[in-house]
């Protein structure tokens, strides 16, 4: 079967995050982040791993940029470490000029090689200083003011060359994994026996509002003070799976699938993309535990109009309704998430990590649903997988990553098919440029297109890295909409 074409001008590249690759946590004025603290907790929450050295990108960025050149990448999405720029994090705290200098060198080096920089302002590494000072994201008013100042510094120092901004990466993960189940920093939870503090029934929803309003302040600031002179664009990256009903003949499972996506995506996309309140199903279940918006906050959300929707997508699941009333600690929408349906059919082919199965047909549906619902141009800001058994492979075995190459090819075809459905999709970033610290999974799971030897820090290209350019070259062409059958989201949900 021929590859499905992508629109001309389609942008593509690779993505990383600061704490996962940079290392140099105590060098040149960088302050501590909540992940520095979390990784060193005992007993370990990260399988004994930390980001102290990580991939040592801080010292090896030129080598990593040369990898981007070798792979033919047109763009590179990376995040800035807030505590490397403002070590204590606060709006009245001093700026670290050495941190500014590092990112200036990185940006200039990318541009010199014809690679477009895409900056994510926040990829989970909150400065420990403001977490200690007032609770970080638990304080809605203080956190948004500090984030606004941090964003302003970045626009002022880098915006003459950087034209693509992402405010936050995956606020759902920040809220739920950080303050609901405690799997991620700062590890607050009232249901996780390893957590010593937190309230799962309330804190995720408070943090969610802090993130929404912090995004709004940073975006409104850009629109008001920087857009005209810098001529850039700004958006946010939201994660979320696509959900099919566990029993396709059960309306309550169809409802559960839609409700799960509202709890996953609508929570943030409704206020950010539509300047509307949270989905009604969230209001109904959570009541006054879900903090509301004032009229002045809605006005700010309208001022913070985004240019694009950044989509982080890895997999899909089945949703089954629950008969019981939801617990106060439920954050899923009172649904059960499953990887096989009532007939025992898997949602997709297994990968190298339990939660991820390859689901390109449902990726198409997901892209089309999000575009139809929110009406913003889409950039796929993360998509990727580990190969089955990869974490136990030698370098020689791991670089033959045919599973990953097929995953990319299938998901790129899904992008093309969603374009034929009428979706405006403008770019794609593979996760990730290199194997790195996979947060609470440590250094076992490997998502990179480059093999990282964590003992020597040597990088070795995998087969998929060298194939992606040809995949895009084959697909990027003038797009003919009539070549692909249109799907409708009001049809019964099933595999396409």
Which helix (H) or strand (E) is 429 found in, with range? strand 425-431
Coil, helix or strand for 431? strand
Q: Give the pairing of strands 316-321 and 425-431.
A: unpaired
Q: Give the pairing of strands 164-169 and 357-358.
A: unpaired
Which helix (H) or strand (E) is 119 found in, with range? strand 116-122
DSSP state of 288: G
Q: Give the pairing of strands 75-79 and 11-15.
A: parallel
Cα 30 from Cα 133, distance rounded (Å): 18
CA 348, 354, 355, 360 torsion-angle sign: negative
Is 170 in the active site? yes
Coil, helix or strand for 493? coil
First to last CA, the chain: 16
DSSP state of 42: S
Cβ 40 vs Cβ 9: under 8 Å: no
Cβ 341 vs Cβ 244: under 8 Å: yes
Burial class (CB in 10 A: 0-12, 13-18, 19+), 175: buried
Distances in Å between the Cα of 64 and the Cα atoms of 26, 82, 228, 392, 417 are 21, 21, 33, 24, 32
Cα 15 from Cα 77, distance rounded (Å): 5
Cα 415 from Cα 88, distance rounded (Å): 41
Indicate which residue of 22, 262, 297, 382 is catalytic: 382
Q: Read out DSSP for 133-182?
A: HH-GGG-HHHHHHHHHHHHHHHHHHHTTT--EEEEEE-HHHHHHHHHTS-
DSSP state of 386: P
Cβ 269 vs Cβ 238: under 8 Å: yes
Indicate which residue of 142, 148, 170, 258 is catalytic: 170
Catalytic residues: 170, 382
């Amino acid at each position: 079967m021929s590859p499905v074409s992508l629109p001309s001008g389609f942008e593509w590249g690779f993505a990383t995050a600061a704490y996962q690759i940079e290392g140099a946590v105590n060098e040149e004025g960088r302050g501590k982040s909540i992940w520095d603290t979390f990784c060193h907790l005992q007993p370990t929450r990260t399988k004994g791993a930390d980001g102290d050295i990580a991939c040592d990108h801080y010292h090896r960025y030129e080598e990593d940029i040369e990898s981007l050149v070798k792979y033919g990448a047109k763009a590179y999405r990376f995040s800035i470490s807030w505590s490397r720029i403002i070590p204590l994090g606060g709006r009245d705290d001093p700026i670290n000029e050495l941190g500014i200098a590092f990112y200036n060198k990185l940006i200039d080096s990318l541009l010199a090689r014809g690679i477009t920089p895409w900056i994510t302002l926040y990829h989970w590494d909150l400065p420990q200083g403001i977490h200690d000072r007032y609770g970080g994201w638990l304080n809605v008013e203080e956190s948004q003011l500090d984030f606004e100042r941090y964003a302003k510094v970045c626009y002022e120092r880098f915006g003459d060359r950087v034209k693509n901004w992402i405010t936050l990466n995956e606020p759902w993960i920040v809220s739920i994994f950080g303050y609901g189940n405690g799997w991620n920093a700062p590890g607050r939870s009232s249901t996780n026996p390893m957590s010593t503090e937190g309230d799962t029934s309330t804190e995720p929803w408070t943090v969610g509002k802090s993130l929404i309003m912090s995004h709004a302040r940073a975006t409104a600031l850009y629109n008001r003070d920087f857009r005209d002179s810098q001529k850039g664009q700004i958006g946010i990256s939201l994660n979320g799976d696509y959900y099919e009903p566990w029993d396709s003949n059960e309306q309550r499972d169809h409802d559960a699938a839609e409700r799960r996506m509202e709890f996953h995506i609508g929570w943030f996309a409704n206020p950010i993309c539509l300047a509307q309140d949270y989905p009604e199903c969230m209001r109904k279940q959570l009541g006054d535990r879900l903090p509301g918006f004032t009229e002045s906050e809605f006005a700010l959300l309208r001022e913070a109009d985004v240019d694009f929707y950044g989509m982080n997508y890895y997999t899909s699941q089945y949703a089954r309704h629950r008969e019981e009333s939801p617990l106060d600690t439920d954050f899923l929408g009172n649904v059960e998430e499953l990887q096989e349906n009532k007939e025992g059919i898997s949602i997709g082919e297994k990968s190298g990590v339990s939660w991820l199965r390859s689901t390109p047909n449902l990726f198409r549906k997901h892209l089309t649903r999000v575009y139809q619902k929110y009406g913003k141009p889409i950039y796929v800001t993360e998509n990727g997988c580990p190969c089955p058994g990869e974490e136990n492979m030698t370098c020689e075995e791991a670089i033959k990553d045919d599973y990953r190459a097929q995953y990319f090819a299938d998901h790129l075809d899904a992008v093309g098919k969603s374009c034929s459905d009428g979706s405006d999709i403008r770019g794609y970033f593979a996760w990730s440029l290199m194997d790195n610290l996979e947060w609470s999974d440590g250094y076992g799971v490997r998502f990179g297109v480059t093999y990282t030897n964590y003992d020597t820090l040597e990088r070795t290209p995998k087969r998929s890295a060298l194939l992606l350019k040809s995949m895009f070259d084959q697909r990027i062409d003038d797009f003919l909409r009539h070549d692909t059958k249109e799907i409708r989201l009001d049809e019964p949900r099933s595999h396409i």
